[in-house]
Amino acid sequence: MAVYTRVDENELNAFLADYDLGRATSFSGITEGVENSNYRLSTTEGEFILTLYEKRVNTDDLPFFVDLMAHMADHSITCPQPVADRNGVVLKTLNGRSAAIFTFLNGTSNNSPPAARCYSAGQILARMHRAGADFSGTRANALDHLAWGPLLAQSDKGVVDYGADNLPQDLTARARARLDDTLARWPDDLPRGVIHADLFPDNVLFVGDDVTGVIDFYFACQDFLAYDLAIMMNAWCFEADGSFNVTKSRELVNGYQSERRLSADEINALPILCRGSAMRFFLTRLYDWIHTPKDAQVRPHDPMAYWTRLNFHHNVDSPSAYGIKAPS
Amino acid sequence: MAVYTRVDENELNAFLADYDLGRATSFSGITEGVENSNYRLSTTEGEFILTLYEKRVNTDDLPFFVDLMAHMADHSITCPQPVADRNGVVLKTLNGRSAAIFTFLNGTSNNSPPAARCYSAGQILARMHRAGADFSGTRANALDHLAWGPLLAQSDKGVVDYGADNLPQDLTARARARLDDTLARWPDDLPRGVIHADLFPDNVLFVGDDVTGVIDFYFACQDFLAYDLAIMMNAWCFEADGSFNVTKSRELVNGYQSERRLSADEINALPILCRGSAMRFFLTRLYDWIHTPKDAQVRPHDPMAYWTRLNFHHNVDSPSAYGIKAPS
């Protein structure tokens, strides 16, 4: 439920005076997104999103994000395109926050996407990886494998209040063992590039099975390209009951490979990359679960959904378990 | 911040299958409104609002509200027009809630409207009063003057936690004295009709100084027409510092009278009607302030802003204090 910073009509009109976007005809806060404040903005010139960056986003990273979105849009990836003011400035200030206007994208998302959408989503990820090849910006992955140990240490508080029950008492000890195992096997020689790093189903918009847009680039960074695919395998291919849908996984990877062929090393690394990406989301969710005040507006995601995924991947020893042909 | 009931894409599409509205092209929760869940819905046929009625709204009242909106729209009052499904049904069920689709209105609102907008807003209120004359629905005002005593009694908890300070210790005793005085003078013979009963600035949409729509009919009922104007005098004519802007008041009443002339009795009753409407909002805010849990998503409005207004009106003894010529 995200509008943390209010913008009234006078403030909006003063802000819009810098742009060639005509006059506001409609303006309302939208509930999607948890990091920033987002408004749907209609003007006489079109449909836009106004984003105010809240304190969880490092403002030093903002030029990377908006430049990347502009780059992707230039390469026919439908994503929110930053709109510059009359002086060519994209990143502005509004009510004490960094702020930017983006083009609005049609489409709806589905947290339980059908297999056909997994194929389309895999395709768009590979197209983004290709489009990123000539992007000059750089941003290290602040949540890469080296960050996981410290993150776990900060969540090691013993028993944690977990609704009716508590989190398992030995959870962090077991996570530590899983983490040590994953880090010992972590690859160091896979193809790298710009990754989205958070391409969950709610960040891909569709009309029917056609992708109409990719949103939320605020975790984008440089890392292994195949790690981005592993993030999607976790986010797109598990059902609500925790079961792994191998058909969706196959479609996702086939869609990806229709646009960018994975190397044998990348395919062989998928089980360990899936463990790692499950660990990354388990750890950030665990951290948020423990550190979010009880009366916060935004309820943290359940970390245990990712603990289940993590354990699934620790029982996988070949890419064939994901419906992928092992490389010959 | 209002989306209490989530609607996913599959649920939305199943719901839309009953309508001739084409296919959804965009769907997002909007933060405006505190009583119900509201979504902005774009389809291949147009722009709409989907509302799910939460438990604070009595479902028995819903036919009155949607019929009134349809009636107003038929009488050239721009307001959200209920959209019927293929069987002519407006009030439907979605995810266990009563739900309805309305046409979307352009326009933005301003919590500190300039005087020119007060004139336009007064005009639209009078036009609504005229349009309501041949509306057949009936709904008693659940928050009329007879409800105020019980409401105050339910808020009489002595000292109340009020942020840094507490509410004045003798507040409810002082409010009781004000209330007794107001009820003793309450008129019983003014022109009655359908009133909006909640026409605050955020419920009137503008482009420039032209009204593009009136929203939020969920307090509408039968009561004194001039009481509706008194509600607006409280909501539109006080500045943020608590001072009364007599220019705005004059514009509001002049705008109203340009469409419907007030009788001498109505004009003479305005001071007492203003006391009453200030009391009504003071009491519901005080009640919400006391009864809203600390960790609720929606922060209650400050009751003391209406206590200040109430006290202003108790020092008024003639409509001329509001910039209105006393009737000859």
Query: Residue A276's closest CA among A314, A321, A324?
Result: A314
Question: CA B31, CA A32: separation in Å to the nearest integer?
Answer: 10
Interface membership of A292 toward B (CB under 8 Å): no
Give the C-alpha separation, B214 to B232, whole Å.
Answer: 13
Q: Predicted confidence band at A1 (pLDDT cuts at 50, 70, 90)? A: very low
**Cβ B289 vs Cβ B296: under 8 Å:** no
Nearest to B246 by CA among B270, B227, B269: B270
pLDDT in tens, A277-327: 999 999 999 998 888 776 666 677 889 999 999 999 999 989 999 999 877
Residue in B closest to A37 by C-alpha: B31
Q: How far is CA B183 from CA A195, B146, B171, B178, B186, in A?
A: 68, 8, 18, 9, 5
Contact B31 A32 (CB under 8 A): no
How many Å lie between the alpha carbon of A264 and the closest alpha carbon of chain B?
37
* Interface contact B207, partner A, CB < 8 A: yes
Q: Which site among A10, A26, A41, A49 would you substitute to test the B interface, given the most B Cβ atoms closer than 10 Å to its Cβ?
A: A26
pLDDT in the model for residue A164:
45
With contacts defined as CB-CB under 8 Å, which chain B residues touch A42?
Answer: 106
Of B9, B107, B295, the CB nearest to A25: B107
For an interface test with B, which of A52, A108, A206 has the most B Cβ atoms less than 10 Å from its Cβ?
A: A108
Q: Please indicate whether, in this complex, the C-beta atoms of A108 and B30 are within 8 angstroms of each other.
A: no
Nearest CA in chain B to A42: B106
Q: Is B161 exposed, middle or buried, given 0-12, 13-18 or 19+ CB atoms closer than 10 A?
A: exposed
ipTM attached to this prediction? 0.82
User: pLDDT by residue (tens digit) across A132-154?
Assistant: 999 999 999 999 999 999 999 99
Inter-chain touch B23–A295, beta carbons under 8 Å: no
| B292: contact with A, CB 8 A cutoff | no
Are A30 and B25 a contacting pair at CB < 8 A?
no
- The mean pLDDT of B284-312, rounded to a whole number, is 84
Q: What are phi and psi of B241, to 5 degrees?
A: -85, 5
Q: What is the pLDDT of residues B202-226, one digit of tens each?
A: 999 999 899 999 999 999 999 999 9
Give the CATH H-level superfamily of domain B9-103: Phosphorylase Kinase; domain 1 (3.30.200.20)
pLDDT digits (tens, 9 = 90+) for B142-198: 999 999 999 999 987 655 555 545 677 788 889 999 999 999 999 999 999 999 999
Q: Determine the distance in angstroms separating the CA of B46 from the nearest CA of chain A, rounded to an integer.
A: 13
| Predicted local distance difference test score (pLDDT) of residue B1 | 44
**C-alpha distances out from residue A139 to A136, B232, B277, Å:** 10, 53, 57
What gap in Å lies between CA B230 and CA A33, rounded to an integer? 40
Contacts of A30 in chain B (CB under 8 A): 28-31, 40
- pTM score, whole prediction: 0.88
With left for phi above 0 and alpha for psi between -120 and 50, is residue B307 left, alpha or beta? alpha
Per-domain residue ranges for chain A? 9-103, 115-322
Q: Closest CB to B1: pick one of A3, A9, A109.
A: A3
Please indicate whether, in this complex, the C-beta atoms of A29 and B25 are within 8 angstroms of each other.
no
Rounded to a whole number of angstroms, the distance from the CA of A110 to the nearest CA of chain B is 6
Model confidence at B299, pLDDT cuts 50, 70, 90, reads: confident
The third-level CATH classification (topology) of the domain covering A115-322 is Aminoglycoside 3'-phosphotransferase; Chain: A, domain 2 (3.90.1200)
Least Cα separation, residue A42 to chain B (angstroms): 9
Q: Is A328 on the interface with B (CB under 8 A)?
A: no
Which of B1, B103, B207, B216 is the best substitution to test chain A (most A C-beta atoms within 10 A)?
A: B1
pLDDT in tens, A18-67: 999 999 999 999 987 767 999 999 999 999 999 999 987 889 999 999 99
Distance (Å, rounded) from C-alpha A58 to C-alpha A178?
30
A9 close contact with B: CB closer than 8 A: yes
pLDDT per residue over B22-47, tens digit each? 999 999 999 877 679 999 999 999 99
Q: What is the mean pLDDT of residues B41-54?
A: 96
A241: CB partners within 8 A, 6+ apart? none
For residue B39, what is the nearest residue in chain A, using CA coordinates? Answer: A30
Per CB-CB distance under 8 Å, the chain B contacts of A107 are 25-26
Q: Is B295 an interface residue toward A (CB < 8 Å)?
A: yes
Which amino acid is located at A39 in the chain?
Answer: Y
Residue A55 in tokens: 């304190």
Residue-wise pLDDT tens digits, A79-131: 999 999 999 999 999 999 999 999 999 999 998 999 999 999 999 999 999 99
- Which residue, A7, A285, A328, is CA-closest to A162? A285
Amino acid at B159: V
CB spacing of A28 vs B27 below 8 angstroms: no
User: CA-nearest residue of chain A to B10?
Assistant: A110
